[in-house]
Chains A and B, each alone.
Chain A
Amino acid sequence: MSSGWKAEILAVYRKELQTELRSKSGLVTAGLFSFVTVVTISLVLFNKNVNAPGSGLQDISAGLVWVVILFASILNLPRTFLLEEEQGTADLLRLFARPHAVYWGKVLFNILQVLGTATLVSVLFLGFTGTRVSVPWIYVVSLIGGSCSMAGAVTLCGAIVAQAANRAALAGAIAVPLLLPLVQLGVTGMRAAFGSGLVGGGQAAAVGLVAYAAIMLAIGPWIYAAIWKT
């Protein structure tokens, strides 16, 4: 990648980071949502031994972690594009920048956001529920692969609905069908990580998540470039 592209992508990424750190609205929303949801779930699982083999609670835990990450992401990630249209600043980017640089800059920022959310959810969930991670590397790879896939898919959905009516709700509605396969893979990976599912299945799921992320991030900029000035 030439230094021109790198500089442009980093400029968009830095702009996103600067505006988010100064407004903090996305951080607060995602953080609060994650905290409240995990606390609610933990209350439901209170006094239950989630690590008991055969109880089925490990499977439920795996699903719950991904549900929280999924909805926290859908709440927050599309904002990178929606806010540009709502503020009226999208034209600035269209005038000054190239579409691939804009997309990559925003996706990199969203990956950072999702990883942050996923880490927060993991720490809170594992801490409050006492769930034990038997195969840590599958847990970490599933989380990273799933976060990158989610960032790619939801960012693209945000770009697609940015000029639509009722865009905030629509972004989530169109993102969910794209994310369900990756949630399924993520849950399989996490079940294996918690010791409930087969390690082989978990490995395959983790690899699948990384591949899903690679493909979404590869096709995303091209799709965005085709629609960014319509």
Chain B
Amino acid sequence: MGVVTVWSFQVPDAVGFQRPELARIFFWHFPCPLLLTGLLFVGSYFSFRHLVRVQGFRVESETDNRERQLWDIRAVAALELGFVFCVLTMITGILFSLVQWGVWWQWDPRQTSFLLAMLVYGAYFALRTAFTDPEKRAANSAAYMLAAVLPLIFLIFVYPRLPQVEQASFHPTQSIMKGQIKGAYAQVVSAVIILTTILSVWLYRLRVRAGTLELLAEDYGQLETHGGHPAPTGVVRPVSLSDPH
């Protein structure tokens, strides 16, 4: 991380920017929306797997309870991380906009798309806090994520590419395709992308491990009821009407 940061300051200043020396924020801004988008769809896939079991080509709506809980942990891990990158996207984008154009918000279509994506994330986490029952929390938040996939695809991939919207956008859409990022800049951008991806995977795995340990801690030990007594269970036996109970 330190090496890449130092490297990013070593490359020559960017050409064509108002404050070329500060355009370096682009190195850290560029990977964030890529990761946020990736984690969003990964989280949606895990949400799908939580709700249904795919066995061969059959889709069944009943799954083993433990398996469902694990898919929920994975979904939450991916989406929490995605939210972090969403916030970083907004912060680095605002800084860049302030530096380059002198305003921190100008309703750029891509900026707006990711703001709306942040609203979806916020709604997801708000929904999770509204359920005390963990099974309902997991199932309903997974359902919301699946319902949000279509609007998210529209916001991230379709809306910014609409002709009238693309013209109004400050974000270049073809900078990589047309080879505008090249040389040392391309190398630094690639290095930061690889670095942040590795960091994401590591953080994701840590989060999943923490969630799994929480599950195991809940299950381990004595059965509990209110007051610390073991859970009711029973034996079916014939009724005896002389029984004093």
Contacts and interface: CB of A to CB of B under 8 A. Distances in A.
B146 A219 contact: yes
Interface of B is mostly: helix
Contacts of A157: 144, 147
A53 B122 CA distance: 39
Interface stretch (A23-31, A114-122, A220-228): A220-228
B70 interface: no
Interface range on chain A (Cβ under 8 Å from partner): 20 to 34
Contact of B130 (A153, A164, A227): A164
A224 B150 CA distance: 16
Contact of B127 (A164, A180, A215): A164
B136 A176 contact: no
Interface stretch (B11-19, B151-159, B237-245): B151-159
Given A156-B147, A226-B143, A181 B154 contact: yes
Contacts of A176: 119, 123
B116 A177 contact: yes
Contacts of B139: 226-227, 230
Contact of A212 (B116, B130, B148, B150): B150
Interface string A201-224: 100000000001001100110011
Nearest to A99: B61
B51 interface: yes
Contacts of A47: none
B225 interface: no
A95 interface: no
Given A176-B119, A184-B159, A165 B132 contact: yes
Interface residues of B, number: 29
Nearest to A216: B150
Interface in B147-195: 147-148, 150-151, 154-155, 159, 164
Nearest to B141: A160
Interface of A is mostly: helix
A163 interface: yes
A176 B135 CA distance: 25
B144 A174 contact: yes
A161 B120 contact: no
A173 interface: yes
B126 interface: yes
A170 B140 contact: no
A153 B149 CA distance: 12
A223 B147 CA distance: 8
B143 A227 contact: yes
Contact of B140 (A160, A198, A225): A160
Nearest to B138: A230
A178 interface: yes
Nearest to B124: A174
A174 B51 contact: no
B94 interface: no
B42 interface: no
Contacts of B52: 226
A45 B135 CA distance: 50
B146 A223 contact: yes
Contacts of B104: none
A38 B120 CA distance: 29
B131 interface: yes
A215 B150 contact: yes
Given A164-B136, A212-B154, 18 more contacts: A157-B147, A160-B144, A164-B130, A164-B140, A173-B126, A174-B123, A174-B126, A174-B144, A177-B120, A177-B122, A177-B123, A181-B155, A184-B159, A201-B164, A219-B150, A223-B143, A226-B61, A230-B140
Interface of B: 51-52, 61, 116, 119-120, 122-123, 126-127, 130-132, 135-136, 139-140, 142-144, 146-148, 150-151, 154-155, 159, 164
Enumerate the 9 nearest inter-chain pairs by beta-carbon distance, A residue then B residue, closest first. Answer: A164-B130, A177-B119, A226-B51, A174-B123, A230-B139, A177-B120, A181-B154, A181-B151, A227-B143
15 contacts: A161-B130, A161-B140, A163-B131, A164-B130, A166-B130, A170-B127, A176-B123, A177-B123, A184-B159, A201-B164, A212-B154, A220-B147, A224-B143, A226-B52, A226-B142
